[in-house]
Structure 1
């Protein structure tokens, strides 16, 4: 009854400017959970495969098209306040069911912000993500190099849970071992349509690159315009999906870093968001913080298995490092990991305690407009990413000793999109400087004569949409008025107490 009251309150027309969707699950006739969505327009029961049962009013999820708002001109033309019936929510049932399948950590109700909601007092920014909707869920996906078919940009899409299995496959993990720690099949699949046919278990050297928060369509647009020559080099030697890769819900950082590197959704790996509540421990978990990134493996469920663990099981231990994780929180099993160095330091501030160990951002050769360094997150992102490139060059100083799988996370792209919103000067400066680091690494491999022997995968953890500073407000007063005890983490994850 409390949950129903919360849902009703959140679906009030007076909150339509800030509440896009309300999501929850209920037991079905067969005892299995069934996904539901509602807003001020109506309610619907969602089934895997895109089947909808309208329960009341108008279906608030009119489309699940993962290719909505393409070509890019359609996204630009459709930008602005829009109701959910003008939006698209790919794999709605599948993503909602995964999110609500953790008995201890899943909330009772999830609230999805409208795309234009601006809520800086509760952690919001000019650029936002986290939604179930297609633009905030669309991450870029580029495959390139050895073993990849040269197809250029194609009008297709994948899912972020497909990235981990694809990396593992390319690094030589046999199909039979693409399973979690309990032996169950992963949620993701190997993207074989873009790869050469090779014997199962054949090993290549693989470099996976994550540009946190990089906007898929703008990245491809800038690459085609000649402004991201590194990305263009990758696409010329491989394939780019215009529909990108659909993130898991919520489309936030740590949820999707973990989904990428385990090949399963949040209900299976346990990282329900950048902040969530664990009923079993009574703990408020905040994995997406500079003081806690190095602890992220602590919150993975025991049956989750990282791609580093999968690859290490099939690479001779005499080769060290077999796997490397650069500036990535989800590093469990990697032979070399930046977070290992932070853990070994014993600094209670984690990555926030690096201090003088980080390069001077003002002397970085990769930034475009130094004025963006006035933004603290952007400035820190420049420092972290410069240090990340240093690590990559060191790991690949001698190709004979380079890891079989190298994962390289970059953060300034997220800072630029949060600080300015997609397509802003700050966001595009971040993309260009990330590309300059990529070019430096590619040039390094060319100089070593091994670039053609390496397979590359470039992606992100989510997309971005721009908030509207005139669209403000909060649903908390409406919930407070119910007199029901609850926690609102995120905000948007409602736990009834």
Structure 2
């Protein structure tokens, strides 16, 4: 809480306890997986997690101090539910069988922004169906391992050719890895204040150097299913990348909440939400009194405005360390990505210059016809509005990539290419559904087209490619309905619930 505007610490603690008690009632156990908050400062900072089963205090040294009942986050194994058959056999598991990787580190990061961090975070159970409150059949955002597991495939020049590897990384490692491979020295991987990043380059898989680097994000691409389909021969583009490099079966752990803008920003800055300031797809800023909604067609192009002072993007790191081109061609490019600050070329920059917004009639009329797309495998999926629009955006994204890579001489040193139809497919049906798997296949066809283009240029083996996502997915159960809203309303105090799941106390 802001001490200048909020209640006294004792009043705040009492209010928080009321909220925790209300949310951890056994009658809400089907909807509420966890409630979390932080206490203390500096080295004494702790994270607390509670649910209907018990309460625990997490310490920086890794200790779990159980305060009551059973530890709600006892299992922190980032490799849980592997091999993939284990995930398939136990989809959307309850708390007592679930895993919550690096719970302390991820929670502390969420609660470290003095103005924007919530007072409490509520985590949906994997099965919670909240379509009437903005949810979908496929969901993400949780602290749990499957919703937090993004794929990580590393390929091409300077990459260890190990195939499928039983290992994992962090999403905040991806940006530093891209930057180091593009020529940023290791001592240049710092924020604007010279502080060490939260992530580190994955030098055990990708050699630092000065090469052309391409980062590819398949938004919401489900790690287990992506690798499974690649091994089954159904995603030949992914299989081609793995053949030339390494794929981590444990993927890359997302920051919490495991949602889009939080983790796009973590990837492209190398720091967690408590430092970069994008606390969620929607959050509240106490200092400005503003409800911030960066994950919206009308605001994506403004996402850089919400980055905290001192935060640097990978595009800015490359600019600070890689010489400018004599011919004026872009050193860095950001295709269909909201967190584009510092990129020489960016889709969002074009949108900003146009004075329009994504989703507006003016710009949408310029998108290609998805019914004519050679990459959409099942036209019936275009009846889903999000899938329809995403297919258009991703086709346009491929066009931009082919233009940027018209010549290997003028191609950017660092290119970032975000794809979104995989998010649409997984939201529409959940992982392993027909529409989700077809969204992966559609994205793979676009990937193949681009890899074929690089091969035609003769540079496929000279480029470093990293493919990842921003989070995983789990399937909600239509029979697991209900809301915690009535429990909050029944307290009779001012409680702001953004997301839902980010709880701000005593806030108008």
- TM-score range (shorter-chain normalised) is over 0.9
Where 2:497 maps in the other structure, the secondary structure is strand
1:246 to 253, 273, 292: 253
Measure the CA separation in 2 of the matches of 1:385 and 1:238. 25
- Counterpart position of 1:387: 396
When the two structures are superposed, what TM-score results if normalisation uses the length of structure 2? Answer: 0.95
Check if 1:459 corresponds to 2:468.
yes
* Contact persistence 2:45–2:59 (CA under 8 A): no
Q: Of 294, 298, 304, which aligns to 1:297?
A: 304
Partner of 1:458, secondary structure, is: strand
Q: In the TM superposition, what whole-angstrom CA distance separates every residue of 1:331-353 from its partner, at most 9, and x where no partner exists?
A: 00000000000000111566675
Please name the residue that 2:4 is paired with.
Answer: none
SS of match in other structure, 2:204:
helix
Residue 111 of structure 1 is matched in structure 2 by 122
The residue that corresponds to 2:499 in the other structure is: 490
The CA distance in 2 between the partners of 1:26 and 1:38, in whole Å, is 14
Query: What does 1:278-427 align with in structure 2 at a 5 Å threshold?
Result: 278-318=285-325, 319-348=328-357, 353-427=362-436
Aligned CA distance change for structure 1 residues 351 and 69 (closer, same or farther; 3 Å):
farther
Partner of 2:211: 204
Query: 2-side partners of 1:209 and 1:437: how far apart?
Result: 11
> Distance between the aligned counterparts of 1:168 and 1:444, measured in 2?
23
The answer on 1:229 being equivalent to 2:236 is yes
Structure 2 Cα separation of the partners of residues 252 and 266 of structure 1: 11
Q: Which moved more, 1:128-137 or 1:339-348?
A: 339-348
Corresponding residue for 2:19? 6
Farther-moved stretch of structure 1 (304-313 vs 349-358): 349-358
SS of the equivalent of 2:303 reads helix
Aligned residue for 2:485? Answer: 476
Match status 1:188 vs 2:199: yes
Residue aligned with 1:43, SS: strand
Q: Hey, what does 1:52 align to over in structure 2?
A: 64
- Match of residue 255 from structure 1: 262
SS at match of 1:22: strand
Question: TM-score if structure 1 supplies the norm length?
Answer: 0.97
Provide the aligned C-alpha RMSD in A. 1.2
1:170 alignment counterpart: 181
Q: Deviations over 1:33-66 (max 9, x none)?
A: 2111000000001123532110111111120000
Q: Structure 1, unaligned stretches of length 5 or more?
A: none
Offset at 1:83?
Answer: 2.8
**8 Å contact kept, 1:342–1:351:** no
* Superposed CA offset, 1:109-164 (max 9, x none): 00000000010111100000000000000000000000001000000000000001
Q: Distance in 2 between matches of 1:3 and 1:251?
A: 23
Say which SS state the counterpart of residue 130 (structure 1) adopts: coil
1:447 aligns with 2:460: no
8 Å Cα contact 1:255-1:273 kept in structure 2: yes
What is the total number of aligned residue pairs between the two structures? 491
Q: Partner residue of 2:28?
A: 15
Query: Which residue of the partner structure matches residue 220 of structure 2?
Result: 213
Kept after mapping to 2: 8 A contact 1:256/1:461: yes
Does the aligned pair in 2 maintain the 1:294–1:350 contact within 8 Å? no
